[in-house]
Copies of this chain bind each other. A is one copy, B any other.
Amino acid sequence: MSSSEPLVLINGSPEASVSPLDRGLAFGDGVFRTIRMEGGRPLWWRDHLVKLESDCRCLGLAAPEPGVWQQDIAWLSARRPDAVLKLMVTRGPGPRGYCPPNNPSLTRIVAASALPAFPDPLAETGMRLRVCDLRLGHQPRLAGVKHLNRLENVLARMEWDDPAIDEGLLLDTDGLAISGVMSNLFIRHGGVWRTPAIDRCGVAGVSRGRLIERLDVKVDRFGLDAVLAADSVLLSNSLIRVRWVSALAERRWSRPPDFAAILEDLR
């Protein structure tokens, strides 16, 4: 198997396949996690497990036991110790129609893809952002949850193919800043860090939770103007951890003077 092919376990088996009647496929009826694994060690594993269980609960799914995931990851890490792990849980196969089966047989998928060579977060080049045209809709029942209904992110990501753009900034239908397409957003004015509230849309990433704690971040509502007026802008997710933003529209930023300390603090 080529090193670029992901290794995949479905319900613990490398030979199993996904049913075409799986509700994950039919309705996006499930949740997922993206995890950085280095030297066989999944980064922020406990946080990811807590978040996965909380997301499952939001959809009324019984999350698999931690030990089951650990078995899958042990199998994969023996073969690919440095990887991007993607964990997925769906409500499993079901009869036609939206009504879930009474005793669903969940589908558990773990895929290990090659870990990309991430740029040095301390390099002088930060992330270059654009503002996406797509506006996130409000759905409080699903806000914060990393579920499998991700067409908004897909459509937003399809808006550019310029390799000089690293990420898209997503606003909601009210014009409030929410997040990147694949990352959470932090801005600083003076000494005060803020991150968007995600009670109406957006995803509560694990890296976001860690930064909120460590940087004493205020969860708040603000628009594009506040982002452009910020002294520093950061993006975070479980793969890049945290990176600083160097460009958005005409605005340019240099690396925040304390960025190395922030990165170290998050490690």
Contact = CB atoms under 8 A, between A and B. Distances in A.
A99 B168 CA distance: 12
Interface of A: 6, 8, 10, 17-29, 32, 34, 59-60, 84, 86, 88, 90, 95-100, 109, 111, 113, 134, 136-139, 141-142, 147-158, 173, 181-182, 201
Contacts of A34: 96
B18 A154 contact: no
B25 A24 contact: yes
A98 B28 contact: no
Contact of A151 (B59, B136, B156, B173): B59
Nearest to A97: B182
Contacts of A141: 134, 152, 155
12 contacts: A8-B21, A17-B18, A17-B20, A20-B111, A24-B25, A27-B154, A28-B149, A29-B150, A59-B155, A136-B139, A139-B152, A141-B152
A18 B16 CA distance: 11
A137 to B, nearest CB: 4
B21 A6 contact: yes
Contact of A22 (B25, B98, B138): B25
Contacts of A95: 113
A141 B152 CA distance: 9
A137 B138 contact: yes
Given A21-B111, A147-B151, 18 more contacts: A6-B96, A17-B17, A17-B18, A18-B22, A20-B111, A26-B148, A28-B28, A59-B151, A59-B154, A59-B155, A98-B150, A98-B153, A98-B157, A99-B157, A100-B158, A134-B141, A136-B139, A137-B138
Nearest to A168: B98
Contacts of A201: 137
B18 A26 contact: no
A96 B84 contact: yes
A10 B181 CA distance: 31
Given A148-B25, A182-B97, A10 B20 contact: yes
Contacts of A158: 60, 99-100
